[in-house]
Amino acid sequence: MILSGVVMTSFVVMPVELMVQTGIGGVSSLMFGGMLVVLGLITWFTPNQHVISGSLAGFLGLGALILSNLGGLVIGTLLALVGGGLAFSWRPVTRPPRGGRRPHDQARQEMSGEANRENGEGPDAPVLPPPAVPRAEG
């Protein structure tokens, strides 16, 4: 997505006065390119927003095809569509918690009975009845 924004803006590098005279193609190329760069940075630094930023990048790529010099001579549009699709379908990897036991190690210990033996419980421990609860007489 960042690369598509750079491609779109690089085709219209010219003085502002000349860009305004060229019409909507020059100004919208900067707008679409800037928004695609921002969406790429959002996806990079906050991966939990990948669905929103990926879908917006796809829509911006299609809009740039119409409004900004064929979306950077079609190269920028194709890069925006591919980058948006990859961001949309991407699943961030969750990291295991730091320190302590990993969840699957704890489950394995519970299945083997190691956790019960550590707490003084086990297959040889006596079974105690539940505590009696006094009844309210009324």
Report whether 54 contacts 90 (CB < 8 A).
Answer: yes
CA 2 to chain centre: 15
Q: How many residues does the chain have?
A: 138
Sign of CA dihedral 51, 54, 58, 60: positive
**Is 102 inside any structural domain?**
no
**Is 81 inside any structural domain?**
yes
**Is 85 inside any structural domain?**
yes
**Is 108 inside any structural domain?**
no
**Is 74 inside any structural domain?**
yes
* Contact partners, residue 13, CB within 8 Å, separation at least 6: none
Helix (H) or strand (E) holding 62: helix 50-67
**Is 117 inside any structural domain?**
no
**pLDDT tens, the chain, 138 aa long:** 999 999 888 877 777 777 777 777 778 888 888 999 999 999 999 988 889 999 999 999 888 888 887 777 888 889 999 999 999 998 767 777 776 555 555 555 555 554 454 455 556 666 667 777 777 775
**Is 66 inside any structural domain?**
yes
What pTM was estimated for this model as a whole?
0.62
- The residue range of the domain holding 9 is 2-89
